[in-house]
């Protein structure tokens, strides 16, 4: 019982923290993207974005710690939330904090309503755009100063992200730094997932359409069998009425 109350407290915290963390992700987005998009940013503003970035980090760190403390099985909590820990500890994985913004997609989706396939499509389109945007920022951050780099403006970075996520890969723009290549590898995985989800959604739709059209003889449903059962129950009542009558007549 203590276990359950403890885990319930953690879940309450997580529900309460959903929106503050989304705000923290938005703050981080601003603090992360501004200096990258405007390389000639005044010294003061760079300091401001640095401070905002640390504030966002602190919020993620505090959230992780509180959740860890509220957990009963702490070892299991750490094992199951490795990504959350990595996002807090490794500066390289900072951009992943923006994944929190998927919460916003969820809200958008709830307002739009619609079928499962529709919701999957909204998530995929939204995530693909978000991932492309973040990857463009990250790769530009890594490449800009590098020697021999061919991604030197945000336009180039977006174009590179488009050629990468669709797996076209012309080769006119590509990362040359190790950090940029890690970003690229992540984006390629996103691209494969994107192609997979598009194909899977289409396949699922087509399978359903074909089934609907070609199935002229529908399979028997529970309702049909329930109808049968009702008929048999009535029949049994009729038989029992005879039995009673027979008892009377045979007495």
**Which residues, 211 to 230, sit near a second copy by CB under 8 A?**
213-214, 217-225, 227-229
Instruction: Name the residue nearer to a second copy (CB basis): 23 or 203.
Output: 203
Instruction: Name the residue nearer to a second copy (CB basis): 10 or 117.
Output: 117
Q: Which of residues 106-125 bind a second copy (CB under 8 A)?
A: 116-117, 120
92 binds a second copy, rule: CB under 8 A? no
| Cα gap 97→140, rounded to integer Å | 18
48 binds a second copy, rule: CB under 8 A? no
Contacts of 170 (CB under 8 A, 6+ apart): 163
| Cα gap 156→168, rounded to integer Å | 15
Locate 161 and state its tokens.
Answer: 């992200």
Q: Which of residues 144-183 bind a second copy (CB under 8 A)?
A: 155, 159, 162-164, 166-172, 174, 176, 178, 181
Among 20, 23, 92, 209, binds a second copy (CB under 8 A): 209
- Report whether 131 contacts 187 (CB < 8 A): yes
CB 19: neighbour CB atoms within 10 A?
Answer: 11
| Cα gap 86→99, rounded to integer Å | 13
Minimum distance of a second copy from residue 96's CB (angstroms): 18
Minimum distance of a second copy from residue 115's CB (angstroms): 8
- Report whether 152 contacts 158 (CB < 8 A): no
| Cα gap 20→18, rounded to integer Å | 6
Minimum distance of a second copy from residue 247's CB (angstroms): 7
Task: Count Cα atoms within 13 angstroms, Cβ side, for 213.
Answer: 6
User: In 3D, which of 125, 153, 126, 127 has the Cα closest to residue 140?
Assistant: 153
Instruction: Name the residue nearer to a second copy (CB basis): 43 or 251.
Output: 251
Instruction: Name the residue nearer to a second copy (CB basis): 82 or 116.
Output: 116
| Cα gap 69→1, rounded to integer Å | 17
202 binds a second copy, rule: CB under 8 A? yes
Our CA angle for 61, 141, 193, nearest 5°, is 75
Minimum distance of a second copy from residue 201's CB (angstroms): 6
199 binds a second copy, rule: CB under 8 A? yes
Minimum distance of a second copy from residue 177's CB (angstroms): 11
Size of the site for a second copy (CB under 8 A): 75
Among 55, 89, 92, 232, binds a second copy (CB under 8 A): 232
């Amino acid at each position: 019982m203590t276990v359950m109350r403890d885990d319930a407290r953690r879940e309450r915290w997580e529900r309460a923290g959903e929106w503050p963390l989304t705000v923290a992700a938005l703050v981080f987005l601003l603090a992360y993207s501004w200096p990258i998009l405007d390389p000639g940013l005044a010294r003061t503003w760079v300091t401001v974005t640095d401070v905002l970035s640390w504030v966002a980090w602190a919020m993620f760190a505090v959230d992780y710690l509180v959740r860890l403390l509220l957990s009963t099985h702490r070892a299991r909590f750490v094992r199951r939330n490795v990504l959350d820990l990595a996002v807090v500890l490794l500066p390289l994985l900072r951009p992943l904090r923006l994944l929190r913004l998927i919460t916003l997609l969820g809200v958008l989706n709830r307002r739009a309503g619609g079928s499962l396939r529709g919701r999957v499509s909204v998530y995929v389109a939204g995530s693909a755009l978000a991932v492309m945007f973040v990857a463009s920022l990250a790769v530009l951050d890594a490449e800009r100063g590098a020697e021999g780099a061919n991604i030197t403006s945000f336009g180039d970075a977006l174009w590179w992200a488009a050629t990468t996520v669709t797996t076209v890969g012309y080769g006119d723009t590509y990362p040359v730094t190790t950090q940029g290549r890690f970003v690229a590898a992540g984006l390629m995985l996103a691209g494969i997932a994107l192609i997979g989800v598009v194909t899977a959604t289409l396949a699922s739709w087509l399978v359903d359409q074909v089934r609907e059209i070609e199935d002229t003889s529908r399979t028997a449903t529970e309702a049909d069998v329930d109808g049968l059962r009702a008929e048999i129950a009535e029949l049994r009542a009729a038989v029992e009425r005879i039995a009673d009558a027979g008892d009377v007549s045979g007495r």
